[in-house]
Structure formats: structure tokens, C-alpha cells
Amino acid sequence: MPGFAGITGEVKLNLNKALAAAVTAARAAGKVMQTNWHKPKRVNQDDPHDIKLELDVRCQKLIERTLRQAFAGVPVLGEEGITGDVTADYRWVVDPIDGTVNYAFGMPHCAVSIALQQAERSVVGVIYDPFTDELWTVIRGGPTRLNGRVVRVSRHDRVEDSIIALGFSKSAANLVKCLPHLNRLMRRAKKIRILGSAALELAYVASGRLDAYVERRINLWDLAAGGLMVEASGGEFYAWPVAGKYRYTMCADNGRLRKKLRVQGLLS
């Protein structure tokens, strides 16, 4: 199988080659996003609080084709569908357009997110923002890089000095849980941001642009690459499975704020 090397009887991927393949795939999808930025969008699904575009599907298929050229047998678990046996030792986890609602409404805050997981643990991550041409990359055991430059989390240790991103679904139960905490944090934090792209929020924590990011309900493809980046840049990343397949509650921060945020009630 292309890209594989046998080591002590086990099959292992060349992670540098995997990173290169993911970068190529992310840039290709990002180019499609830019090309179609000002064109009419075909909506496949329009829910009360979400939108699915035909372009999401097109970008995921392009990513899958690009990844298969380097690693023909690795399955893909994506927001727009699954190919292969995603219970295998290795799998790609893909969000072709993270922030589709932003994209559909003409707001250039969205990204491509690609992770390679081994035994359900991310070992490679790529997040690409085609509108700023910013590319975050990481291999487990190494640093997070932004356009090749090593980045680190912020050093703020007071909530009052911190910029915190929040995200939550709009169900009645989640709003009951979230709004009291949002009200409390808005009074304490320097600023609260709800930006609409989980992958970029995690990349921003890894880069020190945000100090923390808390999300009550989030999908695996939103966090698989960015969570690894936060850890590799010196921060803390916690994710707990919740009801629903590939659904999590998560908290990412610079390693100095999680306990001070007092988010346990929000995340439970």
C-alpha cells in the first residue's frame, strides 16, 4: 500500500508523507472554496441552525481523491460521509468546509480541517484558511506550525485578561445549560467570541490568538486536527464523548485557565 512501511511486523504510516498529502488536499479544497466564493451556492440541506452545501460534498470528494493517491487503503471519516472501514487502525478525519454557514453568507471565516488518526488518536493535523492563506500543521511529538513558523499558546493566566471563544447548539436543553455560563463569562472575560468555525478557534488557541475555547456539543471532524495542535503548542485539550456518534464536549485552553473558567457545569 503506498505510503506504508513495515516496522517490527506492524504496518505504520510515514507521518511526514501523510502530512504532505493532507496539506495538498487542504490547499486543493481551499482553492475550490475561493473559486466559488462569489458564485451562487447550491444548498443540499437547510436546517433551522445549519446549512449543507453541494460544495461541502464536492470538497470532501476532492480531498478523498487526493489522499487516496498517497494512501490508497486508508478510510475516511468525514462530515459529508464515510468511505472504508473507519474502525481500522488508521483513518482520516475530514471536515471539508468547517464554518459552512459563514461561507454561505459571505463571511470569510472558515477552513479545511484534515487529521490522520491512529487507534482513534490524532497523529497528524492540518487546518487551512484559504482566505488568509494560513496553514497550520502538526505531527504528534512535534510543534504546531503556522505557515512553517512554530507557534505557542498565550500566557494569560487571568480570565479578566483573556479572550474566550464559545460554541453551543441551539436546542432548548443546551441553551438552558449554556446561557447562565455565557452571562457569567461575559462579565469576567476581556472578550467573548462566537466565531462559527471550530477548527479555526482551536488553531487560534494553538497560536495564542484566543486563550480558551469551550464547546458543549461538537463533532469529531471539527476537533480532530485542532485538538492535537493545542496540545502540541503547550496548551490543554479535553474532550468527552456525549450522546450521539462522534459527538463530544470539549475545552481547549492555554494550560492556565481551564479551572479558573469554572466550565464544569457547562460541560456536564
Q: What is the pLDDT of residues 213-235, one digit of tens each?
A: 998 889 999 999 999 999 999 99
| Per-range mean pLDDT, top range of 46-50, 71-75, 145-149, 177-181 | 145-149
Strand ranges (E), 66-162 = 76-78, 81-83, 90-98, 111-118, 121-129, 134-139, 145-146, 149-150
Q: Same domain for 86 and 210?
A: no
pTM metric for this prediction: 0.91
Q: Same domain for 23 and 132?
A: yes
Residues 167 and 216 sit within 8 Å (Cβ to Cβ):
yes
pLDDT of residue 107 exceeding 90 = yes
SS3 232: helix
Alpha carbon distance 63, 8 (integer Å): 31
Alpha carbon distance 212, 232 (integer Å): 15
Query: How many CB atoms are closer than 10 A to CB 129?
Result: 23
Q: Same domain for 198 and 252?
A: yes
Q: What is the mean pLDDT of the chain?
A: 90
| Number of domains observed in the structure of the chain | 2
Alpha carbon distance 84, 68 (integer Å): 11
Last residue of a domain, one of 124, 150, 176: 150
Q: Return contacts of 6-11, CB within 8 angstroms, 24+ apart.
A: 11/89
Positive or negative, the CA dihedral 73, 96, 120, 84 is negative
Tell me, what's the pLDDT at 265? Answer: 57
Q: Residue type at 24?
A: T
Last residue of a domain, one of 150, 180, 195: 150
pLDDT tens column, 154-204:
999 999 999 999 887 667 777 777 777 788 888 889 999 999 999 999 999
Tell me, what's the pLDDT at 177? Answer: 73
Confidence of residue 3 (pLDDT cuts 50, 70, 90): very low
Could you tell me the residue range of the domain that residue 234 belongs to?
159-267
Q: Same domain for 112 and 177?
A: no
Tell me, what's the pLDDT at 48? Answer: 63
Q: Same domain for 211 and 142?
A: no
Alpha carbon distance 20, 136 (integer Å): 12
pLDDT of residue 108 exceeding 70 = yes
Alpha carbon distance 53, 50 (integer Å): 10
pLDDT tens column, 9-36:
346 899 999 999 999 999 999 999 999 9
Q: Same domain for 87 and 8?
A: yes
CATH for 60: 3.30.540.10
Average pLDDT over residues 134-156: 98
Q: Same domain for 202 and 257?
A: yes
CATH for 254: 3.40.190.80
Q: Same domain for 235 and 135?
A: no
Q: Same domain for 31 and 72?
A: yes
Give the cell for residue 185.
Answer: 463569562
pLDDT of residue 2 exceeding 70 = no
Instruction: Look at strands 212-219 and 163-167 and give their pairing.
Output: parallel
Q: Same domain for 141 and 192?
A: no
Average pLDDT over residues 68-85: 94
Last residue of a domain, one of 150, 176, 193: 150
Give the cell for residue 266.
Answer: 457547562
Q: Same domain for 258 and 142?
A: no
Q: Same domain for 172 and 109?
A: no
